[in-house]
């Protein structure tokens, strides 16, 4: 799969998400779902890191994960403004961006930055992932 196809997959899912209604969720529900998606996000990041060919299945999986994080982030817009909601929005956006960038780089094996970024991807969601889990625990019902 070429970089053009990976970008096309991400654009298609982004267009669909802008048309889909955002579910009405509470902050604890958004955080719980965000944490639940972390396992799949970590798996996508791990699959993007090694050199070699990548599949359309990986592009679709990663695009679904990134879309899920964007939908959750957008669900926060209907909630009252709070420091926790703002932090959650930033973390969910970071998760989505990390997955998207990992996908784009995975399908660009000739990029000079690939190895440096691949080393970073081996750390998964890193501190942002941990912070989302802690925020979820703080707001657990």
pLDDT tens per residue across span 93-125: 999 999 998 898 888 877 777 676 666 666 788
Q: Are 44 and 102 in contact (CB under 8 A)?
A: yes
Among 49, 58, 129, which Cα is nearest to 94's? 129
Q: What is the pLDDT of residues 28-44, one digit of tens each?
A: 999 999 999 999 999 99
Domain-wise residue ranges, the chain: 3-138
What is the rounded distance in angstroms from the CA atom of residue 66 to the CA atom of residue 122?
18
Residue 16 above 90 pLDDT?
no
Cα separation, 60 vs 6, whole angstroms: 8
- Cβ-in-10-Å burial (0-12, 13-18, 19+) of 51 comes to exposed
State the Cα–Cα distance between residues 120 and 102, nearest whole angstrom. 10
Contact status, residue 72 vs residue 17, Cβ threshold 8 Å = no
Q: What's the pLDDT at 50?
A: 82
Most confident region among 1-15, 77-91, 106-120 by mean pLDDT: 77-91
Distance CA(75)–CA(123), nearest Å, equals: 28
Please tell me the distance from the alpha carbon of residue 23 to that of residue 26, in angstroms, as a whole number: 10
Q: Which of 9-18, 52-61, 65-74, 123-132 has the lowest mean pLDDT?
A: 9-18
Classify 3-138 by CATH class. Answer: mainly alpha
* CA-wise closest residue to 64 among 14, 7, 109, 128: 14
In the predicted structure, residue 81 carries a pLDDT above the cut 80 = yes
């Amino acid at each position: 799969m070429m970089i053009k196809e990976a970008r096309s997959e991400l654009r298609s899912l982004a267009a669909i998400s802008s048309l889909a209604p955002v579910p009405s969720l509470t902050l604890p529900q958004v955080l719980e779902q965000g944490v639940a998606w972390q396992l799949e996000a970590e798996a996508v990041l791990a699959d993007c890191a090694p050199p070699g060919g990548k599949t359309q299945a990986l592009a679709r999986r990663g695009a679904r994960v990134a879309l899920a994080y964007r939908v959750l982030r957008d669900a926060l817009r209907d909630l009252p403004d709070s420091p926790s909601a703002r932090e959650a929005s930033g973390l969910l956006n970071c998760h989505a961006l990390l997955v998207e960038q990992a996908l784009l780089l995975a399908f660009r094996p000739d990029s000079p930055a690939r190895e440096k970024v691949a080393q970073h991807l081996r750390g998964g969601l890193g501190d942002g992932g941990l912070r989302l889990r802690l925020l979820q625990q703080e707001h657990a019902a």
